[in-house]
Amino acid sequence: MSQIQVTSPRRCATKQNHNHNFDLSFLWKLLSTIFTALLAVVLLVWLVLRPSKPSLSVDQASLYRLSLSDTSLVNSSVQLTLRVSNPNGRLGIYYDEFHVSASYRGQRIADPVSFPPFYQGHEDHDLLSASLDGNNLPVGPYFGSEVAGDQVEGKLRVNFAMDGRFRWKVGTWVSGKYRINVECVTTMDFGQGSLTGQLTFRQGSQCSTVL
């Protein structure tokens, strides 16, 4: 006599739920393992390469004009040369955006200038030149007296701010975009009491870089 086994609906449902929970648990463990492995690879590459942030400084700056057309409107002309260096021996750098602006005592004296995108190879150095001009830019009421005070002192301090976005390159791999902000302080000597000057190489520029 043959025997027929009958499984109750409740038992079938319990078995299906068990299999479903097992599948979710396995999938979660698999995804966690893959994520951990990728994170370990990224960390290992980062530790091996040890990327250093780009180095930017003002190589030369000349102020050809700084005058007030009104008590609160300034006109200026600045010729600027920047030195951009990649200190990394295994990493290239793509600069997708790069801008520079000039200010005096926290007040903008020239319109910002943008550089075209460029690539910098391993341990490479580049010089970027730009002309910054300001026409009837609004300034504070004490701008003229502050410039006159610096003229008596014989030195004029101009700040240059640079900002942009860049990407690391290792072989064929290119990272996502990172933002860079640089602040440089330059000191120009007044020549014969006029508002012209040039950054001296003995003093250099004091710059701070933030990624």
Asked if residue 4 has pLDDT above 50, the reply is no
**Does residue 177 sit in the same domain as residue 142?**
yes
| pLDDT score of 115 | 96
Within this chain, do residues 104 and 162 fall inside the same structural domain, yes or no? yes
Residue whose tokens read 């943008």: 114
CATH number of the domain that residue 190 is part of: 2.60.40
* Mean pLDDT of all residues belonging to the chain: 82
Beta bridge partners of 119: 94
pLDDT at 194: 55
How do residues 125-146 score in pLDDT, each as one tens digit? 999 999 999 999 999 999 999 9
Domain co-membership, 34 together with 59: no
Higher pLDDT pick, 201 / 107: 107
Rounded to whole angstroms, the Cα distance separating 7 from 4 reads: 10
pLDDT greater than 90 at residue 179: yes
pLDDT reported for residue 204? 62
Q: How confident is the model at residue 14 (pLDDT cuts 50, 70, 90)?
A: low
Q: What is the mean pLDDT of residues 37-59?
A: 76
Its domain, for residue 63, covers: 55-210
Question: For the chain, what is the domain count?
Answer: 2
Do 40 and 70 have their domain in common? no
One domain for residues 12 and 74: no
108 has pLDDT over 60: yes
| pTM confidence score | 0.75
Domain shared by 167 and 190, yes or no: yes
Average the pLDDT over 3-15 and give the result: 50
107-139: burial string, b at 16+ Cβ within 10 Å, e else: ebbbeebebeeeebeeeeeeebebebbbeebeb
Q: Give yes or no for residue 112 having a pLDDT over 80.
A: yes
Do 129 and 74 belong to one domain?
A: yes
Q: Is 192 exposed, middle or buried (0-12, 13-18, 19+ CB in 10 A)?
A: exposed
What value does the mean pLDDT take over residues 83-92?
A: 92
Q: What is the pLDDT of residue 26?
A: 75
Residue 79 or residue 29, greater confidence: 79
Report the distance separating Cα 122 and Cα 170, nearest Å. 10
Provide the pLDDT for residue 173: 84
